[in-house]
Amino acid sequence: MKHTSYGRSPAALLTLAGVYAVLIGLVWMIDLNLYIAAFLALFTLPALWEAVQNPISTFELTETHMRWSTPRLTDEMPVGLILRARFDTRLDLSVKVTLFLKDNRKLRLPHACTPPPEALEAELRALGIPTERHHFSLIG
């Protein structure tokens, strides 16, 4: 299984365009102060920076190894070390993947490179690794 994620997504670009259109419309229609509009636009700068940079994250799972790479982190591990995998659905509907290793360590996969949870869970089960699902936990 191979998965590649890009920082520049159509949804993010449409959201940025929508926010800027609303701000420009408010400046034009109700004479919103430019300083207030600029202050509100500051909150979009991280998303704009990610859209400009377009960071690439990858994930690869084979019968023997699991590899992942983000702009700041690259790592790999043998699949034989994985005892089980836990998929936690958060309140924002994102999924956190935690691997429990045979040496009693926990390893959390970076969200940026995590493939769709259903596909990853199916691949892990095909490799004989037990998985568990937890939905909307406020703890942990």
84: pLDDT strictly greater than 60:
yes
CATH number of 57-135: 2.30.29.30
pTM, entire model: 0.77
Residues 6+ apart with CB under 8 A from 27: 34, 37
140: pLDDT strictly greater than 60:
no
C-alpha separations of 53 from 34, 68, 113 in Å: 27, 19, 16
Q: How far apart are CA 63 and CA 67, in angstroms?
A: 11
| Domain chopping of the chain, boundaries | 2-53, 57-135
For 20-63, the pLDDT digits (tens) are 999 999 999 999 999 999 999 999 999 999 999 999 999 999 99
